[in-house]
Structures are given as structure tokens and as C-alpha cells.
Amino acid sequence: MKMFEEIFDSGDDAGTALDFAEDLERKSIKFYSEKASEMDELNQKDARDLFKFLVSQENSHLKAVLELKKNLGKKIDWKHASEIISPDLFAGFRSKRTQEIPIPEEILESAIRAEEDAVDFYTEFASKIASESGKSFFMRLAQFEKKHAELLDSLLALSEVTVDSAGTPEEF
């Protein structure tokens, strides 16, 4: 990817990558915040709560990225930054309600694409960084983003199932 070549040609690998990561997380926070507000206006409380949960997840990622940026030029404590990220991805959102959350497919598809792009970015950067603990940090972020994509994808799959007159689920 050209973006990664530019990062590694710049001579400021970690700083540039962390700038990209900060921008990525801020965009995710904005997107999910807007969707939470939209769902609230539509009186879709469960959908709102899902998007608020994702905002909180992205905020923990942003906090870790900002912690690392603050310490650039010093010894980077990748392990401490990794600990800032929520240790249990769904600790704040365990519910069977996810099977019943009505969210427009285009919102889910857009969110899935954004999460998959984040997975690609963090995985690619992890493969390029020299520090083993740095690799681990970015792979952990990629794993979190992948879990977000999987959650959203499961909701999309559920939205594509209908029930026939006998009550049997049918996929389109």
C-alpha cells in the first residue's frame, strides 16, 4: 500500500503511523457518535446503545494512541499502552439483544468497511514496525477492530434473514 511506503520513507515511522491511527480512531468515534444520535432520534435504544458501546471502544483505542504519541522521543511503553485498551472487548456490551437490533443495512455495511480498513491498517503497520512490543500493540488494535467488524457483520447477517409463514428463517 502506498500509504505505508510513505510512512516508512518519512523517517518518522512511529509518529506518522500514530498520527494515522489517531485520525482513524477519531473518525470512528465521530461516525459511531452520529449513528448513536440518529438511532436515538428514531427511538431505537438498543441500536443507540450498540453505537455508544463502539464509541467507548474507539475512545479506549484513541487514549492508547495518544499515550504513545505523548511519549514519542522517549522510551515508548507499548505494553502500558496495550493495557489501556479495554481488556475484555464485550465486557460493556454482553446481551442477546444484539440479535434483535434493527439497524439499516447501509449503516452496517459502512461501519464494517471502516472496521476492516482499520484491521488492514493496524495489521500492515504491525508487520513493518521493528519493536516486538510495538507489533503486539498494533496487532491487538487490529484484533479489536476485527471483533467490531464481526459483531457488525453478525447483525448484517441477521438483517438478511426473513421468516416464512411457518416461522422458519429463510435467507434472501
Residue ranges per domain, the chain?
Answer: 2-162
Residue 171 near residue 164 (C-beta atoms within 8 A): no
Nine-digit cell string for 69: 504519541
pLDDT tens, residue by residue, 6-50: 444 444 567 778 888 999 999 999 999 999 999 999 998 888 999
Distance between CA atoms of residues 106 and 118, nearest Å: 18
> Whole-model pTM?
0.75
Dihedral, CA atoms, 16, 29, 85, 78, nearest 10 degrees?
10
**CB crowding 115-154: b at 16 or more within 10 Å, else e:** bbebbebbbbbbeebeeeebbebbbbbbebbbebbebbbe
Assigned fold of 2-162: Ferritin (1.20.1260)
